[in-house]
Amino acid sequence: QVQLVESGGGLVQAGGSLRLSCAASGSTFSRYYMAWYRRSPGKQRELVARITSDGNTNYADSVKGRFTISRDNAKNTVYLQMNSLKPEDTAVYYCAAGTIIPGYWGQGTQVTVSS
């Protein structure tokens, strides 16, 4: 059983940076892959970044080179460093955890990028 709590969202200007954090409760955190998804108005939920239990990562093409996902298993936390933010990055960002598919979701944190 895992509970996820995101933090770090906010309002930034285009070109700025934010670092999102997702704190997980539970003793089995290291077993899970972790991912960040986002949903913006009028669009479907999108996988932004994913990291496996052993640190392998992948990213959506739209964020590759700008965003970095990382995890600290000792702290039961996953991060999303977002640089060179664009207005189109505006969305609610959700942390997810799972094995084969996401089984746990955070409540989301709003990221708004002004032009």
The model's confidence at residue 111, banded by pLDDT at 50, 70 and 90, is very high
Q: Give per-residue pLDDT as tens, 25-63.
A: 876 678 889 999 999 988 999 999 999 988 999 999 999
Q: What is the model's pLDDT at position 88?
A: 96
- Rounded mean pLDDT, 93-108: 92
Q: What is the DSSP string of the chain?
A: --EEEEE--EEEETT--EEEEEEEESTTGGGSEEEEEEE-TTS--EEEEEE-TTS-EEE-TTTTTTEEEEEEGGGTEEEEEE-S--GGG-EEEEEEEESSSEEEE---EEEEEE-
Q: Give per-residue pLDDT as tens, 55-88.
A: 999 999 999 999 999 999 889 999 999 999 999 9
